[in-house]
């Protein structure tokens, strides 16, 4: 699903060069649930931006779903973001003036679906995250956990190849955080590939594999032996 080889990312402002990522090699297979850990400045967010096609590599190879991303132009990258990637952010990043339903419809707007299909698919996605009775609520009428669920529905709606979550529980209390992890686990059980950045080991232990970053390098890559499963009702 994801293939990263000898990837480097160098930020340069003319005088200084910052090597944010050095010779990264990672492979994520279909159906994996991976968390990326590391202190701030370790390069995990940079990697997420590159995996999410928001940023370009300085050198190296990045293949997503067998497509070489490194050589693509802006418009093609937008297309990949739209169809192959579902983002979940720490701060939800919903549009405040739109209802939950309208927010979930946005990726489909750019994919060019008709209004009828958009509504139908958005409803399906919101039902999947247990918000079918909140579709007309605006973000400020929803709790943090509910907002994040809208964001997950939005990430799901174009059936992406991979879901990228950047600290998805960072702004939530532990109970809401558990709810969100439950949804991720259930999605993963249904076959979704998920890569999640977190700095909390507790949260990371909900995933199946933990990659740890330090100073732009991968320092460890281990499978989780005792994955914490959030039981029962995954909503």
215 near other proteins (CB under 8 A): no
78 near other proteins (CB under 8 A): yes
The minimum distance between CB 105 and other proteins, in angstroms, equals 9
Nearer of residues 53 and 204 to other proteins, judged by Cβ? 53
70 near other proteins (CB under 8 A): no
Among 67, 95, 117, 229, binds other proteins (CB under 8 A): 95
87 near other proteins (CB under 8 A): yes
107 near other proteins (CB under 8 A): yes
- The total of other beta-carbon atoms located within 10 Å of residue 75's CB is 7
What gap in Å lies between CA 233 and CA 216, rounded to an integer? Answer: 38
The minimum distance between CB 174 and other proteins, in angstroms, equals 25
What gap in Å lies between CA 219 and CA 9, rounded to an integer? Answer: 17
Q: How buried is residue 170: exposed, middle or buried, by Cβ count under 10 Å (0-12/13-18/19+)?
A: middle
Nearer of residues 157 and 172 to other proteins, judged by Cβ? 157
40 near other proteins (CB under 8 A): no
Among 41, 89, 214, 224, binds other proteins (CB under 8 A): 89
Nearer of residues 9 and 128 to other proteins, judged by Cβ? 9
Kindly determine how many residues on this chain lie close enough to bind other proteins according to the rule CB under 8 A.
25
What gap in Å lies between CA 8 and CA 159, rounded to an integer? Answer: 29
Which segment (92-100, 127-135, 141-149, 208-216) binds other proteins by CB under 8 A? 92-100
- One-character DSSP codes across the chain: -EEEEEEEEEEE-SS-EEEEEEEEEEEE-TT-EEEEE--TTSSHHHHHHHHTTSS--SEEEEEETTEE-TT--HHHHHHHHHHHEEEE-TT----TTS-HHHHHHHHHHHHT--HHHHHHHHHHHHHHTT-TT-TT--GGGS-HHHHHHHHHHHHHTT--SEEEEESTTTTS-HHHHHHHHHHHHHHHHTT-EEEEE-S-HHHHTTSSEEEEEETTEEEEEEE-SSPPPPPS---
Encoded one letter per residue, x for contact with other proteins by CB under 8 A and - for no contact, window 111-150 reads xx--------------------------------------
The minimum distance between CB 122 and other proteins, in angstroms, equals 13
Which segment (35-43, 88-96, 175-183, 213-221) binds other proteins by CB under 8 A? 88-96
Residues that bind other proteins (CB under 8 A): 49, 52, 54-55, 74-75, 78-79, 81-83, 87, 89, 93-95, 97, 106-107, 109-112, 154, 158
């Amino acid at each position: 699903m994801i293939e990263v080889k000898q990837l480097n990312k160098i930020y340069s402002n003319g005088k200084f060069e910052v090597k944010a990522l050095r010779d990264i090699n990672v492979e994520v297979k279909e159906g994996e649930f991976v968390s990326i850990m590391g202190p701030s400045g370790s390069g995990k967010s940079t990697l997420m931006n590159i995996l999410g096609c928001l940023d370009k590599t300085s050198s190296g190879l990045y293949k997503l779903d067998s497509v070489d991303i490194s050589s693509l132009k802006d418009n093609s990258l937008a297309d990949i973001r739209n169809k192959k990637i579902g983002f979940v952010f720490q701060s939800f990043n919903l549009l405040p003036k739109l209802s939950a339903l309208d927010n979930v419809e946005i990726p489909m707007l750019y994919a060019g679906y008709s209004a009828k299909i958009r509504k139908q698919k958005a409803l399906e996605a919101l039902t999947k995250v247990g918000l079918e009775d909140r579709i007309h609520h605006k973000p400020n009428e929803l709790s943090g956990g509910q907002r994040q669920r809208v964001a997950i529905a939005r990430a799901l709606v174009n059936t992406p190849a991979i879901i990228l979550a950047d600290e998805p529980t960072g702004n939530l209390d532990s109970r809401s955080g558990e709810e969100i992890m439950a949804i991720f686990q259930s999605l993963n059980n249904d076959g979704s590939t998920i890569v999640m950045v977190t700095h909390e080991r507790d949260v990371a232990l909900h995933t199946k594999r933990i990659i740890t970053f330090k100073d732009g390098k991968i320092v460890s890559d281990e499978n989780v032996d005792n994955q914490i499963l959030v039981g029962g009702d995954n909503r």
